[in-house]
Amino acid sequence: MRYFLEIAYHGKNYYGWQRQPDAISVQEVVEDALSKLLRTEVNITGAGRTDTGVHAKQLFAHFDVDFLADVKQLKYRLNSFLPKDISVQDVFEVTPKAHARFDATQREYEYWITLEKSPFLNGLAYLLRKNPNMDLMNKAAEILFQYHDFQCFSRTKTDVKTYHCTIKKANWEQKGSKLVFTIAADRFLRNMVRAIVGTMLEIGYEKMTLEDFHTVIQHKNRSNAGASAPAHGLYLTKVIYPESIKIKQ
């Protein structure tokens, strides 16, 4: 039988989601906890890979096991096993071929920037000393809808077959002293959101024009885009699936 886990985590202490040969990852910690509780080796497959230091408010992963008599009890026991910076929000049965990565129809990220030093956002938002021009950055966000090939924002050494993504949402909001960039798409490339944010900040500080932004995307060269924003400001916030994959209890 196949089950989905809904997971949230603070990424500071981990080298991303995916299991690494010589570094601690969120996947490794969750797999080890599941294996101990179920007394069998359990492998989990996540909806995607978050980089070192990136956080997740919602990430789904699937695993296979013969039978779970009480999924609510498993959630409770898992959370008692897991460290404080990882939590399981839900466990539920799905159809046998449901896939946490390939069945996801939309993913959403937020990037947090703080304009004031705050002990409550330390390690959770990128601190800037100077306000960028939000109007210009929102105009840049609108430009993203005109394109599908985002090779210019992708990590250079990657094994993807296509750089095409369909952007479904992209906007900046100011909430007090915090700036939040929200972006949703059918899929994302590695480092894509952080590269977009870093490039938009160049526009916000008027080091790059909106016309330059068009050119960067059209030329498909990562070196022409801005530096990636720091990982600790990035959150995977939502992953959407068809309702049909969930088995109704």
List the catalytic residues: 51
* Structure-token pair, residue 18: 């995916």
Q: Quick one: how far is CA 229 from the chain centroid? A: 14
C-alpha 124/C-alpha 110 separation (Å) is: 11
Q: Which residues of 87-98 are buried (b: 16+ CB within 10 A; e: fewer)?
A: ebeebbbbeeeb
3-state SS class at 102: coil
* 60: enclosing H helix or E strand: strand 55-64
How are beta strands 106-114 and 234-240 bridged, if at all? antiparallel
The number of angstroms, rounded, from the C-alpha of 37 to the middle of its chain's C-alpha atoms is 27
Name residues whose C-beta falls within 8 Å of residue 27's C-beta, 6 or more positions apart in sequence.
17, 18, 19, 44, 46, 61
Evaluate whether 104 touches 47 at the Cβ level (below 8 Å). yes
